[in-house]
Amino acid sequence: MTVLAERPALDLVVLDFETTGLAPDRGDRAIEVGAVRLRQGQVVDRFQGLMNPGFAVSGFIESFTGISNAMLADAPPCGRVMSDFADFLGDDNLVAHNAAFDRRFLDAELAALGRPYAGDFVCSLLVARRFYQQAPNHKLGTLVHYKGLAHDGVFHRALADAEMTASLWRTMVAEMQQQSGVRSLRFADLKRFSQTPKAKAQAFLGALANA
């Protein structure tokens, strides 16, 4: 197990991308990234950047994200913003809601710059599917309302979604620690939990207390 995996589950970066579409391998690009850095569960730093993908986005994306082509026309290019974001990430572990999506765009944008990153991902959506099995669904907005978490009503803007994901993450970790009796869960514990079959999720938490 790596040193990064042994780090606390509340010391990491929570990130979110808004994009031109679903598939970077088909030419889609990031148009906004937002992130918050947690230390002991507290937000200690933030990153937000609009970026110009080099082509116009569709009317659907403008409507869905609230990010217009006029806004992007004045934004710096993707490479400049993502280079700064790579510096921001450092060697922190990473959390995103539906992390497979965000990871595809992070990998694609940083690969284009030749910039690696050290941290590993955990998906808050996969953790929530196992921990909040009674939730109506596991979309970020639904879970925020399900847990009664404070929010400003803004969805599908990168920093706002990163902030809400961080709030959900802190809530899940605190409840899992209380339920398992473990005072400080590690990143590796949440990674393994996210990959545990739902039928075995409660047994996994019970086993943590006896580890």
The pLDDT tens digits of the residues spanning 147-170 come to 999 877 656 689 999 999 999 999
Phi, psi of 3 (to 5 degrees): -60, -40
The residue with tokens 């116009």 is 56
**For 34-52, what is the mean pLDDT?**
98
Q: What is the per-residue burial (b if ≥16 Cβ within 10 Å, else e) of 43-82?
A: eeeebbbbbbbeeebeeebbeebebeeebbeebeebeebb
Q: What angle, 0 to 180 degrees and rounded to 10, lies between the N-to-C axes of helices 158-180 and 187-194?
A: 90
Residue 3 lies in a domain: no
- Structural domain includes residue 58: yes
Domain-embedded: residue 6: no
Nearest 5°: CA angle at 129, between 127 and 130? 70
Task: Report the DSSP pairing between strands 12-19 and 30-39.
Answer: antiparallel
Task: Give CA–CA dist 138/15, Å, rounded.
Answer: 17
Is residue 144 situated within a structural domain?
yes
Per-residue pLDDT, 209: 79
Indicate the length of the chain as a whole number. Answer: 211
CATH number at residue 85: 3.30.420.10
Query: How many structural domains does the chain have?
Result: 1
pLDDT, mean of residues 177-203: 95
Q: Is the dihedral of CA 173, 137, 16, 113 positive or negative?
A: positive
Q: List Cβ neighbours of 10 (8 Å cut-off, separation of 6 or more).
A: 38, 39, 40, 41, 169, 170, 173, 184
pLDDT digits 0-9 by tens, 55-95:
999 999 999 999 999 999 999 999 999 999 999 999 999 99
Does residue 37 fall inside a structural domain? yes
- Please tell me the predicted confidence (pLDDT) of residue 156: 67
Look at residue 36 and tell me if it is in a domain. yes
What does the pLDDT read at residue 114? 97
Paired tokens of 9: 């589950």
The average confidence (pLDDT) of the chain is: 94
Q: Does 2 or 37 have the greater pLDDT score?
A: 37
Domain region containing 58 = 12-209
Is the residue at 161 inside a domain? yes
Residue 141 belongs to a domain: yes
